[in-house]
Amino acid sequence: MKIIMLGAPGAGKGTQAKKIADKFNIPHISTGDIFRANLKEGTELGLKAKEYMDKGELVPDGLTCDLVMDRIAKDDAKNGFVLDGFPRTIPQAEALTEALKKIGQAMDIAINVDVPDENIVERMGGRRACVGCGATYHVVTVPPKTEGKCDRCGAELILRDDDKPETVKKRLAVYHEQTQPLIDYYEGQGILKTVDGTLPPESVEEAVFALLK
């Protein structure tokens, strides 16, 4: 089964992607992981991507798609895969559709984890990260035993810049401009399904697995 996870930053799509990958024994594929692996291995595609990254430029859509196609050609993806964070834009989605068509394949389902912006701002604003060991907490759903202190190592817990409301709102604005159109794109292909991401994680998981039966 070939699955795309859609949703705004902080909607929980990455969490659900990992659960799907574990349940169906298929790889959870994110572009960040692919870039890191190719850079580490010094592959031809990785070196091409590095040229852009070293200049602080975005890796072109065509090259990003080539990297993704190279990853899904590996043996562990022969029974399917979960894409998380790719495609991000319509040109990337079109490039992926065409690349899959060339090998006689197509995506099976695109799952949109739908969460209103105000919920995401509140959710991410409650996150706290340990400056020592990197453990993460949430002031409401996963609070530390002692306020402001890590349960594991006792170091200070902080609100990361990425999780501050003003940063989250900027990221959401970019998402609505660039990535939201993907929902219409995959709806047009007849493979879009939406789940309510405001439900507790276990309920979201149940809804996602119900779609995959």
Question: Is 71 labeled as catalytic in the residue annotation?
Answer: no
pLDDT tens per residue across span 21-67: 999 999 999 988 898 899 999 999 999 999 998 888 888 999 999 99
What pTM was estimated for this model as a whole?
0.86
Question: Is 160 labeled as catalytic in the residue annotation?
Answer: yes
Q: What's the confidence (pLDDT) of residue 4?
A: 97
pLDDT tens per residue across span 61-91: 999 999 999 999 999 999 999 999 899 999 9
Q: Choose, from 18, 48, 149, 171, the residue flagged as catalytic.
A: 171
Residue 184 has pLDDT above 90, yes or no: yes
Q: What is the 3-state secondary structure (H, E, C) of the chain?
A: CEEEEECCCCCCHHHHHHHHHHHHCCCEEEHHHHHHHHHHHCCHHHHHHHHHHHCCCCCCHHHHHHHHHHHHCCHHHCCCEEEECCCCCHHHHHHHHHHHHHCCCCCCEEEEEECCHHHHHHHHHCEEEECCCCCEEECCCECCCCCCECCCCCCEEECCHHHCHHHHHHHHHHHHHHHCHHHHHHHHCCCEEEEECCCCHHHHHHHHHHHHC
Q: Given pLDDT bands bounded at 50, 70 and 90, which one contains residue 179?
A: confident
Question: Is 164 labeled as catalytic in the residue annotation?
Answer: no
Domains in the chain (CATH in brackets) are 2-116+178-212 (3.40.50.300)
